Amino acid sequence: MNIKGIIFNPEFTFKVSRSGGAGGQNVNKVSTKVELDFDVVNSQLLDEEQKQIILNKLTNKISKEGILQIISQTERNQLGNKEIVIKKFYELIQKCFVVQKKRRPTKPSKSAKEKRLTTKKRDGEIKKMRKKDW
């Protein structure tokens, strides 16, 4: 499942609006907030298996209609926020397809077991010595 070579730009839909929060005179008249919408369900670049992986792993960011939404409003200009949104999108998609190694349970070594038992014995002896009637 290699996604590196695929360019999704033709399937992006951008929406711009005014950013929230404090920002002075410019914030009230310039639309710098950028929202990227990507239709995962109807994407022609992804196969069904890839779509299912994305839908399962990014459920919090995907709407009921199957649209992945990413928002950025950190930069003071629209172009900067657009670049950030595209970068976030590719990072999210890349993380979806990283397969984690399966954990193999290990057993403690013989020396580790012996060390644990000797320290338990020693601690028990110390506690015994604390009693008045030993």
Rounded to 5 degrees, φ, ψ at 13 are: -125, 125
- Tell if the pTM clears 0.75, that is, is over it: no
Domain 9-96: give its CATH architecture. 2-Layer Sandwich (3.30)
What residues have CB less than 8 Å from 112, skipping those under 6 apart?
Answer: none
Classify strands 67-72 and 33-39 as parallel, antiparallel or unpaired: antiparallel
Are the beta carbons of 33 and 73 closer than 8 angstroms? yes
Question: pLDDT by residue (tens digit) across 25-48?
Answer: 666 677 788 999 999 888 888 889
pLDDT at 105 over 60: yes
Are the beta carbons of 46 and 54 closer than 8 angstroms? yes
**Calpha distance 61→47 (Å, rounded):** 20
**Calpha distance 38→12 (Å, rounded):** 5
124-133: Cβ within 8 A, 24+ apart: none
pLDDT at 129 over 60: yes
